[in-house]
């Protein structure tokens, strides 16, 4: 008898590490400053327990991306990273070429730490520069200097990491075109494989929000000019934009983040982590005490209906430089893309979207106002 082998489905794993040295002035992520080693160790132990439980439901999956996000994952001891990652390898079928990323803030790790986590299987780092101006870093509430970033980046290279992503921010209070250009040039000079460039957003509950009336921040026109400066200067340096805020050298896209935009499945572990698995989306609360007690902290869970899945498909695919494959859309939706969204022709005429063969996507100018366009297209409130 010939045995038929069933190809396993792809799965990503996200682990939220909610600890940080100090809350940045713009941060609204779930994070807890100044947590002790006992708390961090207990958190890693509980994450590991929940990974083991979840793995029993994922026998038909193969893990090909793992992402430790935060907060500041590099505040976790190498031993705790090994505990969590080891449980993933024990419980899941992990692809031999899996992308395993750990976020790191400058001045929170050194060469010895990088060498240790690399031996465990971490093969990609995501490091937050934000700005090469110490004045701007201080305004953001960052704990590091530009020199700290350069030193930490060098330690990672010397430890053998050949896939490093770095974050830039534009629209920082008192930032100028010249200081942004200097930050871009500093980062490009280090030659990371991937760069993310984000515009500052002032979110409720942050220190910046409380001081919003006194901050000297860029207006929409200035932010647009900064966005275009990032786009053009990074393109000149060999970084191709593949998503609204993400640029990479050939073959170095973030595979884990790309799975979100492609609507692929992932399991999230930890407080405030979200999952998309088995057709269901669900998210955890920020209740650290309940999490450490082993309680179920799921606070939202829902299954998208066919109309919601289609809207999500359009929204996520249009984040990518390739945009929408109109033939694929027609197969999924049963109607033509332009029939479903007649206003797209207006956006193309206005230079905010473009059509290339069967693909429709945003132009660089359109990416900057994509939220407004998508809200109109998809009738979001």
pLDDT digits (tens, 9 = 90+) for 164-211: 999 999 999 999 999 999 999 999 999 999 999 999 998 998 999 999
Q: Are 43 and 270 in contact (CB under 8 A)?
A: yes
CA angle in degrees (0–180, nearest 5) for 311-342-257: 35
CA pair distance 286, 241, nearest whole angstrom: 33
Strands (E), 226-279: 240-243, 246-248, 266-269, 274-277
* Sheet bearing 359-362, strands edge to edge: 324-325, 359-362, 353-356
pLDDT at position 95 is 98
CA pair distance 255, 331, nearest whole angstrom: 25
CA pair distance 306, 304, nearest whole angstrom: 7
299-351 pLDDT, tens digit each: 999 999 999 999 999 999 999 999 999 999 999 999 999 999 999 999 999 99
Compute the average pLDDT of residues 228-247. Answer: 98
28-37 pLDDT, tens digit each: 888 888 889 9
Distances (CA, A) of 294 to 17, 50, 288, 313: 16, 9, 10, 34
pLDDT at position 1 is 42
pLDDT at position 313 is 96
Residues 6 or more apart whose CB falls under 8 angstroms from that of 218 comprise 170, 171, 175, 200, 226
**Bridge partners, 355 (sequence order):** 360
Split at pLDDT 50, 70, 90, the class of 157 is very high
Q: Are 30 and 20 in contact (CB under 8 A)?
A: no
Domains in the chain, ordered, with CATH?
A: 9-260 (3.20.20.70), 324-381 (no CATH)
pLDDT at position 7 is 82
Compute the average pLDDT of residues 80-86. Answer: 98
């Amino acid at each position: 008898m010939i045995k038929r082998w069933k190809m396993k489905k792809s799965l990503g794993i996200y682990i939220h590490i909610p600890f940080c040295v100090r809350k940045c002035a713009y941060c609204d992520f779930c994070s807890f400053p100044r947590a002790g080693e006992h708390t961090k160790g207990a958190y890693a132990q509980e994450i590991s327990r929940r990974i083991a439980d979840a793995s029993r439901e994922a026998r038909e999956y193969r893990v090909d991306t793992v992402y430790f996000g935060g907060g500041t994952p590099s505040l976790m001891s190498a031993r705790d990273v090994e505990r969590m990652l080891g449980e993933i390898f024990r419980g899941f079928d992990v692809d031999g070429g899996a992308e395993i990323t750990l976020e790191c803030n400058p001045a929170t790790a050194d060469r010895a730490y990088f060498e240790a986590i690399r031996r465990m299987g971490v093969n990609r780092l995501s490091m937050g520069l934000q700005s090469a101006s110490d004045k701007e870093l201080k305004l953001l509430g960052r704990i590091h200097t530009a020199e700290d970033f350069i030193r930490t980046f060098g330690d990672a290279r010397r430890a053998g990491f050949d896939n490093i992503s770095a974050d830039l921010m534009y629209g920082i209070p008192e930032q100028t075109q010249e200081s942004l250009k200097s930050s871009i040039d500093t980062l490009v000079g280090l030659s990371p494989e991937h760069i993310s460039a984000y515009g500052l957003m002032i979110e409720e509950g942050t220190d910046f929000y409380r001081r919003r009336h006194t901050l000297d921040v860029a207006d929409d026109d200035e932010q647009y000019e900064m966005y275009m400066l990032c786009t053009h200067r990074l393109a000149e340096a060999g970084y191709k934009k593949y998503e609204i805020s993400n640029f990479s050298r050939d073959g170095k896209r973030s595979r884990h983040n790309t799975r979100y935009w492609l609507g692929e499945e992932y399991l999230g572990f930890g407080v405030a982590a979200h999952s998309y698995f088995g057709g269901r989306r669900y998210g955890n609360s920020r209740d650290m005490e309940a999490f450490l007690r082993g309680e179920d902290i799921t606070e939202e869970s829902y299954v998208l209906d066919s109309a919601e899945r289609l809207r999500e498909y359009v929204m996520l695919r249009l984040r990518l430089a390739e945009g929408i494959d109109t033939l694929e859309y027609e197969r999924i939706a049963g109607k033509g893309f332009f029939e479903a969204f007649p206003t797209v022709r207006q956006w193309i005429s206005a230079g905010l979207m473009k059509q290339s063969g069967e693909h429709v996507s945003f132009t660089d100018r359109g990416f900057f106002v994509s939220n407004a366009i998508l809200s109109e297209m998809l009738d979001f409130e």
